Structure 1
């Protein structure tokens, strides 16, 4: 990129690319938080659009498509919400917005994973969660003072700016390498990462791995058969299965539940929906700070260590909160101290956002091998979409039937099962290049590529 006659490349362009992703994710966080603002406004007696619990549950999900199309549908959706006069229009808008949600979560992580240095990749990926929380905090705060139609327009600004930033990107080096466009791959890689010896070695390994696949290339019919066979291959099933477990963990932690039903959750804890706004805003701020701090912790801790330590401690806090609310509902404990269970839930939200929420989102950008990335993204999107729909549809009914303590006790139980499973299958990814992680998925160890380095070096120069 040239700015005022100066050529800019290397780490500066990496940060520029990541900022585009993070800004779009912040915008998505605003939209997720906006659902809480919208639902609260639509439930008021003077609302021009009337909804009930059943209709409300359909406004909090959408379908996912590729990241390259994620911003435009969201812009259209926000305009539709602003001008909506009936429920079907809101429903169409939410379906369109689901497209953006999918692209942000899945392909946003892939972009950060492929564009950034391994030493900073975990930090940038964890910042995704912090941006989502910040977006929810901003819109929850604004939504209390401005009309819900105006709040929809406020959401447009980060989307438009992010779209302008995305237009300045170069294509992913990993994607270019997978298409055997090695000259373009080299140009994009050096534009993003600079020309250090370490970067050259990583580029060599990336191209070398794709050169091997070019040698093994066969007929088109064989390639078609190979495409369908990959859905049964271990190096495809293993990362997708691990990601599915992480998606379940993500939803059980309240990743989409809290922004959408914040008012209902806080009201159920403190027993007063009237003052839930201030609790919601306070928790938003705490969760945002916690998620940001997670990006710092990941520089000093391993992925597995952070995930399991935060997971176990958050389950202890959640179990204590649910037990307190259960005893309170049975009349064993007085209900005149709502700050006690609220404090327990705050501790839970802090701990769960240190590891259990950001790490599953980060792993999307790390675990999928380049050969299976397109099909892996598709499979991951479908699985994630189904989980989001089911969770957001079922959650309000759980609140009505088993109340807040029963609902979160169920979520916590599933969390515990997933964490135990992850202990045995989740690999450590910190500090490893994407090629090294891919080797571990395929072969169980990092391969030695020294025999191809000399020939690749000559090609690059």
Structure 2
């Protein structure tokens, strides 16, 4: 299912480029509805596999759309907060509910609960406005202004952001017309020759490596098994509740801290702290004895690690994914990065038992900590501070190393870079 998500990435990119953000969201919420219906009635293996296919494509598409819809619909000051709620807290709540209901109820009844949320997801976009950023990228500037003002009002800051959006997209459309690069494939061919594209891809690759090495997916899927292996106890309900609580507590703390500090400060403070805890945890596992208190020290360190990761790196890196790519091609470029990430997640789950058998949990966590430290070092080198910056300013920085949109558009030499 994780690998099938890559198909969802590409499908969402193609559809949302052609027809906007609303209708693809409705469509893929509808395919998620089909997934739950098939699962509810499934009796044969091929029916379960078909359900997983629909589910994987839908999850991949909706994950992509969630990230980019929220980033395009919110203001620069509130964007990290709302992305944290939608991309991290909501899935954590859903995962926790799924685990608890799966223990308390028959799985077919749990599928009905999922069906209800999918139907709701298909209905709500009918009440949205279209993304003003997508409208601007298609040259529909009057509709863009109307949609933008419905979302943000007419404050001085929002009007400035709107004018930057329109001015920048008009400039890009003019250049595309002059160079005959309006079709998407031609734009992609041109972008492949740009330095900023490869800089962005390389940065996203190190972000992918960091997230894969962090153990996010193996822990969310196999957390109770890992804890059982470490403690020797087999209380499934208690461990499942503990794992879900850890996955939820961190993002809630993140909502508190994200308003009070910068993205870079929070990311690197929590990131390097988590790496240090992982190294200490690995050492404790290596030197552990059979005393029960030692097992619970290990569980405490593992819990603290995931609380910190969910409070800092996980939500912040997902927010950065939604900000760092150019508007007209962001979903296509994210498809490349997201496909690599999904492959990495699948590989990490597949390799987990072999690594544990070969080098033990302590060895695996040391390897992970080294990969995370190297990746975080590169991210520290390349990532600018994005808090309070509009998507246009961030895009301009990645293209020209200058946040000032008006200055760049007024300079013909710099303008050629966009």
User: What TM-score, normalized to structure 2?
Assistant: 0.87
What does residue 237 of structure 1 align with?
Answer: 198
Mapped partners of 2:99, 2:124: distance in 1: 26
Q: Does 1:255 align with 2:216?
A: yes
- Conserved 8 A contact 2:5-2:61: no
C-alpha distance 378-359 of structure 1, shift in aligned 2 (>3 A): same
1:45-444 equivalences in 2 (<5 Å): 61-64=3-6, 65=8, 66=12, 68=25, 69-127=27-85, 128-216=87-175, 217-218=177-178, 220=180, 225-272=186-233, 274-328=234-288, 333-337=289-293, 338-444=295-401
Mapped partners of 1:197, 1:262: distance in 2: 48
Give the Å deviation of 1:208: 0.5
Mapped partners of 2:333, 2:366: distance in 1: 32
Mapped partners of 2:409, 2:350: distance in 1: 52
Instruction: Provide the aligned C-alpha RMSD in A.
Output: 2.3
Mapped partners of 1:450, 1:411: distance in 2: 43
Gaps of 5+ in 1: 1-58, 454-461
- Conserved 8 A contact 1:236-1:372: no
C-alpha distance 71-335 of structure 1, shift in aligned 2 (>3 A): farther
Mapped partners of 1:380, 1:451: distance in 2: 27
Mapped partners of 2:237, 2:316: distance in 1: 28
Moved more, 187-196 or 316-325: 316-325
- Conserved 8 A contact 1:240-1:368: no
Mapped partners of 1:208, 1:222: distance in 2: 17
Q: Classify the secondary structure of the residue corresponding to 2:5.
A: coil
C-alpha distance 146-403 of structure 1, shift in aligned 2 (>3 A): farther
What does residue 414 of structure 2 align with?
Answer: none
Mapped partners of 1:221, 1:138: distance in 2: 48
- Conserved 8 A contact 1:60-1:260: no
Q: Classify the secondary structure of the residue corresponding to 1:357.
A: helix
Gaps of 5+ in 2: 13-23, 411-418
C-alpha distance 175-222 of structure 1, shift in aligned 2 (>3 A): closer
Mapped partners of 2:50, 2:363: distance in 1: 33
Q: Classify the secondary structure of the residue corresponding to 2:311.
A: coil
C-alpha distance 219-422 of structure 1, shift in aligned 2 (>3 A): closer
- Conserved 8 A contact 2:212-2:341: no
Work out the number of aligned pairs and report it. 390
C-alpha distance 414-452 of structure 1, shift in aligned 2 (>3 A): closer
Give the Å deviation of 1:306: 0.9
Superposed CA deviations along residues 356-394 of structure 1, whole A, max 9, x for unmatched, are: 111111112111111332431332232223222222322
Give the Å deviation of 1:121: 0.4
C-alpha distance 448-104 of structure 1, shift in aligned 2 (>3 A): closer
- Conserved 8 A contact 2:3-2:343: no
